[in-house]
Structure 1
């Protein structure tokens, strides 16, 4: 949980992830795990197994939702263009950070232009969209020239304050649990493998991808020897879903189609044999790095599991039980036989 708090506190909207990748890189270096970066800026760690002719790959993504400066408005505020699939209403009233290309950072708040009910009659009815939402910068600016004098330009990245909190009852609520909860789980898994001196049956790669929210984080750097590819990403909750905040979610199908049937059955069997609480689920408006790999033409067995996350792509929440159940299933999975 402490690791997860650290991760969500590092801004990393898709396209600007170097800082959090460096954090993960240093974490793994302390465990004496060799890593390399791909050209897209993602991180790949490899643990050699007894069988080096057949490989596994597990992935979680460290990039998050965010925004870019679309326009510097004449009133000294900023118009945004969203990065990732979410709605403007989910960030209304949120504190944010603007990072310039030179590395300067400024704080602000995302608000409706028509926020004040004392001034705007339609404050409650106006649509939450790109035209009406803007960033109020915490600097003395009155016009576009004042903003540009700070060094802020179109294309600067905007990240959202995670507002992370761990409750005494075991919940963690924060933005960006998608997918930093899974990244934390994978890092703890690698630490446990190293600490317990677990001998893996197959060489296993861990890809910390950095472009999942825009659709292509895990579609490359898959070795020809890779047989199984398991994405670790959030389980989405809502009406008609079985996923909850206390179990590991095993996805059977998402918006791209069914996941590999035999791998799904193996994951269920591992959960039942080891008293791991799980739920099977379908995510109708969802795609993962595993499905991106399949669409790229890789001949692999693909699967998807993860902790259950409430209010996905908004202000999210999960429970330590879900994180623990996901971690346990992964621990047994990496020691299991391949399905093929």
Structure 2
């Protein structure tokens, strides 16, 4: 695996980008790709679209990865000055208990805090270990001298301000990458590295290919627009979910055969597995029962394409996630070989 991919992961996870507040990270990616010579344009939703012309312009491809992450918004300011949250994306409150966070105000000021149970202290609350982790009981303790709703408002904090979670990105000597938001910044890093490689090696793709860095995937409509009628294949690069009854692991590329939206395109799936077998890329076939991707969003929007979903295996998805560099390498190899393959060979 190219070390540039790991550098991209560190760079991407360091920039907060909860769904709905992604302009900073999209702007950074646009600047980097423009410097490489690409024409990168944002659509009205704020996603970034890069079109790479290929030899065949009549049968086109569409490849996505999403840069938006889980997060929250200020739901209410409590009488004691602490904050009540409203979650953005599909996760549970217990997944963020004890996490550091940042409150992003509309004026641009930021404040740090910690996400805690109201009944955290075992010296005070008998139900500290048993109280439900929910919107009523979870709160943000702001790192400022505030003891009332009015004092918090004086900081400029209001309902609707975005809340991002500390990623705590770490790359271990044993090759593991631990961080929040590996879903889906690992995939974005892979696409950015491959786009850079196309320029460095002066490679012409067999098909005109559209790359979309989407920014609304976590709420269900990230990559469902801006799809040319000439697009015949749609590949979403996203995480592979690990757990009971799952084949996906942290050391191979996961190819999804079915998720909550239904089966993915059978022929395209077989095309991807053959690429893995021909190029000795470790892979797993899997079903994600509670999952939807940019590709499935595109199908619901009426796109007439063959759709597929691949990605690195991510442990503890939508919590403090982990993967291994070998899984990232396998995913990168599969996407690279797919981009260079003639679909009509």
Q: Quickly name the TM-score band, shorter chain normalised.
A: over 0.9
With over 3 angstroms needed to count, the CA separation of the structure-2 counterparts of 1:339 and 1:257, relative to structure 1, is farther
Contact 1:230 1:290 in 2 (8 A): yes
Shift in CA distance, 313/339, structure 1 to aligned 2, threshold 3 Å: farther
- Maintained 8 Å contact 1:262/1:339: no
* Distance across 1 between alignment mates of 2:220 and 2:117: 29
Q: TM-score, normalised by structure 2?
A: 0.98
Matched, 1:52 2:57: yes
Following TM superposition, by how much is the alpha carbon of 1:194 offset from its aligned partner in structure 2, in angstroms?
1.3
Q: Which residue does the alignment assign to 2:284? A: 279
1:14 and 1:25 mapped to 2: Cα distance? 18
Judge conservation of contact 1:263–1:339 (CA < 8 Å) in 2: no
Instruction: Pick the aligned partner of 1:323 from 284, 304, 328.
Output: 328
**Aligned: 1:120 with 2:125:** yes
Which segments of structure 1 move beyond 6 Å, counting only runs of 4 or more? none
2:197 corresponds to which residue? 192
What are the within-5 Å matches in structure 2 for residues 160-239 of structure 1?
Answer: 160-239=165-244
Q: Which string of whole-angstrom CA distances, capped at 9 and with x for unpartnered residues, describes residues 232-261 of structure 1?
A: 000000010000001000000001100000
Mapped partners of 2:242, 2:256: distance in 1 = 12
Indicate the RMSD between aligned Cα atoms, in angstroms.
0.9
CA positional deviation for 1:26: 1.5
Distance in 1 (alpha carbons) for counterparts of 2:162 and 2:204? 42
Q: Deviations over 1:61-96 (max 9, x none)?
A: 000000000000001100000000000000000000
Query: Which deviates more, 192-201 or 256-265?
Result: 192-201
Q: Is 1:337 matched with 2:337?
A: no
Deviation of residue 296 (structure 1)?
0.4
Partner of 2:24: 19
What whole-Å deviation, never above 9, does each CA across 1:136-194 have from its counterpart, x for those lacking one?
00000010000000000000000000011000001000000000000000001111111
Q: TM-score, normalised by structure 1?
A: 0.99
SS at match of 1:26: helix
Please name the residue that 1:91 is paired with: 96
1:81 aligns with 2:68: no
- Residue 339 of structure 1 deviates from its aligned partner by 5.9
- Unpaired segments of 5 or more residues in structure 2? 1-5
Say whether the 8 Å CA contact 1:266–1:339 is kept in structure 2: no
Q: CA deviation at 1:30?
A: 2.0
